[in-house]
Amino acid sequence: MTNIITRFAPSPTGNLHIGSARTALINYIVSQQNPSSKFYIRIEDTDKARSKSEFTTNILEGLKWLDIKWDSEIQIQSERVKRHQNVAFDLLKNNFAYKCICSEEKLNSQRKLIKKNKNISKKICTECKNDNEIQKLSDGFVVRIKLPDQGEVNIDDQIQGNIIVKNKELDDFIILRQDMSPTYMLSVVVDDNDLKVNFIIRGDDHLNNTFRQYYIYKYLNWNFPKYAHIPLIHGEDGSKLSKRHGAVDILEFKKNGYLKDAIINNLILLGWSPGNESEIIEINEIIKNFKIYKLSKSSSIFSYKKLNFFNNYYLRKENGLEKFIDFCINNEKLKFFFIKHENKMKTIFQVYKKELNNFNEISDIVNVYFDKDYKYNHKEKFSKDFDILFSDFKKNISNIQRWDKEIIEKTITNFIKEKKIKFPIIGKPIRFLLINSYQGPSISDILVILGKKDSIDRLNQYIEKV
C-alpha cells in the first residue's frame, strides 16, 4: 500500500504534549514518504466538559511551529454527531447493537463477579439484548455494540507485531449514551472511515481499543485500516513523561528557546535509528530513511540532556543568529535590549553560543553586560602580583585604538610575553573585575562585548594596594 491516508486526532483537553507531538510527527513523516499520501487532522472534541478552544489553538500552533503540515480542512468531531448517531442506529437496526437499561448497581455487581472469576466473559450486560420489551423502547437506554463471546480478534500491528485477543475478554461497549451522544469508540471509527484513513498511527494506550473498534468496521463492512501503535515516552526515572520531569508542552520548549529541528531530531531518535554514526538528522533525511516498522516496541526515555545537545548543535548552525534574533523579538526581556543594542546582543550570542542549551539562557547572561550601575564585588581579593601588573595592563588596553577582538588578543598576548608571566595571574582577576565571575568567555571576548568605554570604566573601579 503506497497511497497512505493517515491522521492525527488529538482531544483538546490539554496543550500539545511532546508525546502527542511525536505521534503527529510520525504520521506526518509517513505521509511525506509518498506524494499521493494524505495526512489529516481531526479535533476530537466530544468530551464537552474537558475540551477547550484554547487547547485546540495551542495544539495547532504547536504543530505549525514544528512545521507539520496537514491536508485539507481540519475535521471537527463534534460537528459530525448526526452522522455518528445514524451509524449507531444502523448498527441497532441490523442487530449488531442493542439497547441496554441496566442500572449502575446491576452493572457494578456484574463487574465484581467478573473480577472474581477471571475465566468468564467480560460482557457486563447479560440480559437486555434478549429482552424484546427493552429493545422496543424509544428512550431511556444506552446503545451497546454486540460482540461475540466465542473466537478471537487478531491484529497485525506494524510496531507491536501480531496480537490476539479472545472475544470473551471484550465488553459490549457503549456507542450511544443515554442522551444519544456518541462515544469516542464509535466516533473515531466513523470519522476515520469517512476520511478513508487506511493507516492509523497512534499511542499504544489505544491498542486495547483497536480490538473493540475492529467490530464496528466488520459489522459495517468497512475496510479495516493498518495500525501502528507507538510506545509512550518515559522520563529518565522510567515513569510516564510529565511536568515532574520538566517542560512537556511543545510551545513551552519554543518559549524556552529550543529550535524545532532539535525537537524533531530528538523525538525521531526515540526508538528508531537511521543507522549512521552521527545522531544528527534533519527532516528531509528522516523522511527518506524512516521506516515505521523499525520503531522499537518498548517505551523510550526522553532525555533533556540529549535535547540540549541537539539544540546546541542547531543553534550553532549558519542560521542560528537569525533564529536568535527571532527569539529576541518575541521575548519581552531580550526584545528591550535587542532594540537598543542590536550589535552588542549579536556579539553576546556569537560569544556564548558554543555553550548554550537554549536561547533563553541568554536572558541570565545579558544582565551583567547591560548593568549601568555595575560594581564588581569589592570583597574579592587579588594577588600582589596582580596589583603590580594591573596599571600597566590597563594602560595597554586603554591605548588600543581599534576595538577589535584580534587586536585586543594580540595586546594581551604581548603583555604576557613582555612581563614573562602566566596568563591566569592577570586573566582571572580581570575577568572577575569585568563580569563578577571567574567563569565565562575569554577576556578579549568580554572586552569586545562591553566595548571600550564600559571596559575601562569597570577596570577603573579597581584600586591597587601598591
Contact positions toward ligand GLU, by CB under 6 A? 9-11, 44, 188, 202, 206
CB of 11 to ligand GLU, least distance (A): 4
Alpha carbons 352 and 365: distance in angstroms, whole number: 9
Our CA angle for 176, 180, 185, nearest 5°, is 25
For ligand GLU, the closer CB: 202 or 260? 202
CB of 188 to ligand GLU, least distance (A): 5
For ligand GLU, the closer CB: 189 or 412? 189
For ligand GLU, the closer CB: 63 or 188? 188
For ligand GLU, the closer CB: 77 or 312? 77
* C-alpha dist (Å) from residue 315 to 350, 358, 361: 10, 8, 12
Q: Is 386 exposed, middle or buried (0-12, 13-18, 19+ CB in 10 A)?
A: buried
CB of 278 to ligand GLU, least distance (A): 33
For ligand GLU, the closer CB: 9 or 362? 9
Alpha carbons 105 and 128: distance in angstroms, whole number: 15
CB of 159 to ligand GLU, least distance (A): 14
Q: How far is CA 305 from the centre of its chain?
A: 15
CB of 181 to ligand GLU, least distance (A): 16
12 close to 248: Cβ distance less than 8 angstroms? no
CB of 235 to ligand GLU, least distance (A): 20
CB of 452 to ligand GLU, least distance (A): 58
Residue nearest ligand GLU by beta-carbon distance: 202
CB of 10 to ligand GLU, least distance (A): 5
SS (H, E, C) 27-94: HHHHHHCCCCCEEEEEECCCCCCCCCHHHHHHHHHHHHHCCCCCCCCCEEHHHHHHHHHHHHHHHHHC
> By three-state DSSP, how is residue 154 classified?
strand
Closest C-alpha among 219, 428, 303, 201 to residue 210 = 201
For ligand GLU, the closer CB: 17 or 245? 17
For ligand GLU, the closer CB: 44 or 249? 44
For ligand GLU, the closer CB: 188 or 315? 188
CB of 348 to ligand GLU, least distance (A): 42
* C-alpha dist (Å) from residue 289 to 169, 203, 285, 297: 39, 22, 6, 19
Beta carbons within 8 Å of 202's beta carbon, 6+ residues apart: 9, 23, 228, 229, 230
Our CA angle for 287, 290, 296, nearest 5°, is 150
Closest C-alpha among 185, 203, 176 to residue 82 = 176
**Which three cell numbers, joined as nine digits, stand for 16?**
500539545
For ligand GLU, the closer CB: 10 or 257? 10
- Pairing label, strands 174-176, 199-203: unpaired
* C-alpha dist (Å) from residue 357 to 253, 307, 309: 12, 8, 7
